[in-house]
């Protein structure tokens, strides 16, 4: 869920994450063809204004996740002065701390799983990610996402287990055999890719244990892993600076740049051909300045209409359950299958969001009756019936945010969330149910263990369900979506 992971590069409303199935390969196999898309021959008539507008609208929807992804990459691994910078390419940056109300750089920050970030440049050679042994009851995951925003693989508790291991990440053009000692090979569809590491934190006192695990995350070039000479370095790149104002006027120029590192898959042939017909593509250089005023106006209109389509699609994709919104807009290339609206909706929902089988995120701003949650007006409760806690294999949490800023809030007990590892310290009702008290004032010592402090104003709640169960009951379609999050009840 980017809103709590990698937000900040582009100002677009973010919600949550979910979606499909990861794809891992071994040896020299490849998961897709990469046909070149040639520009139309010179004897083909240029598209009309209306045709151009339609292509630009479709191209914006197609390119939005790609450009958003580039913006994050630029701020995280290209520009040391971005304010969001983490580390250069092929180096891991560990975030070894608990997020609090003082963290304002990203919205809906996650205090469940401290992060480690790795942006990979796969042009010269593959990279080997090594993970240490992680105790059996601690959840961790390494999400692999490429420049197309495809989640092409996972390393961690759900997929590869908690044993130590070495895993190879290769670019779209790599040809080779799986090296001895490597447990798995994952192929990115683009030359640049991010790995997002999540390590479960049980409580604030547990941070030294998380730091120890994070110190065991390693990355090295394949040549170093094999003890062989390194291949020639990849050519130096002049990365275009991310300017938030230019994201509007120069959007298709950024897309031109990104596509040169993203060989087209079979499902992209049609859209790439359309874009090439109006001068947009990996071998093009789109410039608004060279367009007539009429064409410039067409670009702006097409982008606006494309954005409205994406927003409308996202709103329609959100399932409403007892006031909670749940969506599944994340997955691999097979999951999206050329549905560019679905992919763009996922980027808007929260770029770098997890597949739903890895984590699902119900969110709400309203109570069970649809009234806006507001801590200055009412107290609330959230009650899980006995035996009806969120069905997960790892753990679940409910995090409180300010409804306007979507940031954690300052409170007298420094509590920003309630999660399942805290259950032994909490008070159950006589019937075995669990009630959380959601309010700005302390409910009293007898209820304080179950208190989730609220802001003195609008409330935004995010439920995080890590490694949700697939058998019934489950929040996932595989379990027929039979588990439903309980609604937030107004007390006064």
Does one domain contain both 56 and 170? Answer: no
| Residue 359 pLDDT exceeds 90 | yes
Q: Of the candidates 335, 427, 331, which has an alpha carbon nearest to the alpha carbon of residue 17?
A: 331
| Among 245-249, 346-350, 369-373, the range of highest mean pLDDT | 369-373
What average pLDDT is seen over the chain? 88
> Is-cis flag, bond preceding 473, omega within 30?
yes
Query: 251-270 pLDDT, tens per residue?
Result: 999 999 999 999 999 999 99
Is 85 part of a structural domain of the chain? yes
Does one domain contain both 376 and 476? Answer: yes
| 24 against 108, higher pLDDT | 108
Q: Residue 33: what pLDDT?
A: 33
Give this prediction's pTM.
0.87
Q: Residue 40: what pLDDT?
A: 38
Which of the listed residues 196, 226, 256 is the one where a domain comes to its end?
226
What average pLDDT does this structure show over 356-379?
96
**Cβ–Cβ under 8 Å, residues 410 and 101:** yes
CA dist 476 and 478 (Å) reads: 5
Q: Residue 63: what pLDDT?
A: 97
| 295 against 314, higher pLDDT | 314
Which of the listed residues 191, 226, 261 is the one where a domain comes to its end?
226
Is 185 part of a structural domain of the chain? yes
Query: 18-75 pLDDT, tens per residue?
Result: 233 333 332 333 333 322 333 333 444 567 889 999 999 999 999 999 999 999 999 9
pLDDT over 90 percentage in the chain: 73
User: Cα-flanking dihedrals φ and ψ of residue 106, to 5°?
Assistant: -130, 150
| 350 against 73, higher pLDDT | 73
Q: For the stretch 387-398, what's the b/e string if a residue is b when 16 or more beta carbons lie within 10 angstroms of its beta carbon?
A: ebebbbebbbbb
Query: 81-102 pLDDT, tens per residue?
Result: 998 899 999 999 999 988 899 8
Does one domain contain both 72 and 84? Answer: no
**Which residue range is the domain that position 106 belongs to?**
80-226
What average pLDDT does this structure show over 210-239?
97
Confidence of residue 385 (pLDDT cuts 50, 70, 90): very high
DSSP string, 135-161: -TTS-EEEEEEETT--EEEEEETTTT-
Is 6 part of a structural domain of the chain? no
Is 147 part of a structural domain of the chain? yes
The β-bridge relationship of strands 434-439 and 451-453 is: parallel
| Residue 12 pLDDT exceeds 60 | no
Q: How many domains does the chain have?
A: 3
Does one domain contain both 259 and 391? Answer: no
Does one domain contain both 213 and 90? Answer: yes
Structure tokens at 20: 């499909």
What average pLDDT does this structure show over 183-189?
98
Q: At what angle do helices 340-350 and 293-317 cross, to 10 degrees?
A: 80
Q: Residue 307 is part of a domain; what is its CATH number?
A: 1.10.3360
């Amino acid at each position: 869920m980017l809103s709590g992971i990698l937000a900040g590069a582009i100002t677009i409303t973010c919600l949550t994450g979910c979606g499909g199935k990861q794809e891992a390969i071994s040896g020299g196999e490849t998961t897709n063809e990469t046909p070149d898309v040639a520009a139309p021959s010179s004897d083909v008539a240029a598209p009309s204004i209306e045709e151009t507008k339609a292509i630009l609208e479709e191209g914006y929807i197609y390119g939005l996740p790609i450009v958003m992804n580039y913006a994050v990459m630029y701020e995280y691994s290209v520009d040391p002065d971005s304010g969001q910078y983490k580390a250069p390419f092929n180096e891991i940056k560990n975030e070894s701390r608990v997020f609090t109300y003082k963290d304002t750089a990203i919205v809906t920050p996650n205090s469940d799983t401290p992060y480690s970030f790795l942006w990979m440049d796969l042009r010269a050679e593959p990279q080997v990610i090594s993970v240490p042994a992680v105790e059996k009851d601690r959840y961790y995951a390494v999400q692999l996402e490429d420049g197309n925003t495809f989640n092409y693989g996972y390393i961690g508790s759900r997929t590869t287990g908690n044993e130590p291991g070495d895993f190879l990440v290769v670019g779209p053009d790599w040809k080779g055999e799986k090296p001895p000692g490597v447990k798995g090979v994952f192929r990115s569809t683009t030359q640049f890719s991010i790995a997002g590491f999540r390590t479960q934190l049980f409580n604030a006192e547990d941070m030294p244990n998380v730091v120890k695990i994070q110190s065991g995350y390693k990355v090295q070039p394949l040549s170093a892993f094999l003890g062989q000479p390194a291949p020639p370095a990849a050519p130096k790149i002049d990365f275009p600076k991310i300017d938030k104002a230019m994201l509007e006027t120069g959007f298709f120029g950024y897309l031109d740049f990104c596509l040169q590192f993203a060989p087209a898959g079979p499902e992209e042939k049609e859209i790439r051909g359309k874009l090439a017909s109006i001068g947009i593509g990996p071998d093009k250089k789109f410039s608004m300045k060279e367009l007539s005023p009429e064409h410039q106006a067409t670009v702006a209109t097409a982008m606006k209409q494309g954005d409205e389509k994406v927003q409308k699609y996202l709103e329609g994709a959100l399932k409403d359950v007892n006031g909670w919104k749940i969506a599944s807009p994340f997955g691999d290339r097979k999951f999206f299958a050329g549905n560019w609206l679905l992919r763009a909706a996922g980027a808007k929902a929260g770029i770098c969001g997890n597949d739903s089988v890895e984590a699902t995120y119900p969110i709400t701003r309203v109570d069970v009756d649809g009234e806006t949650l507001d801590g200055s007006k009412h107290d609330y409760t959230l009650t899980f019936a006995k035996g009806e806690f969120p069905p997960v294999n790892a753990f679940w949490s409910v995090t409180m945010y300010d409804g306007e800023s979507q940031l954690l809030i300052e409170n007298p007990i420094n509590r920003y969330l309630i999660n399942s590892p805290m259950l032994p310290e909490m008070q159950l009702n006589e019937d075995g149910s669990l009630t959380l008290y959601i309010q700005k004032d302390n409910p009293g010592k007898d209820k304080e263990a179950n208190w989730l402090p609220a802001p003195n104003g609008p409330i935004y709640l995010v439920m995080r369900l890590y490694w949700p169960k697939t058998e019934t009951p489950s929040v996932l379609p595989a379990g027929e979506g039979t588990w439903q999050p309980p609604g937030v009840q107004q007390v006064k």
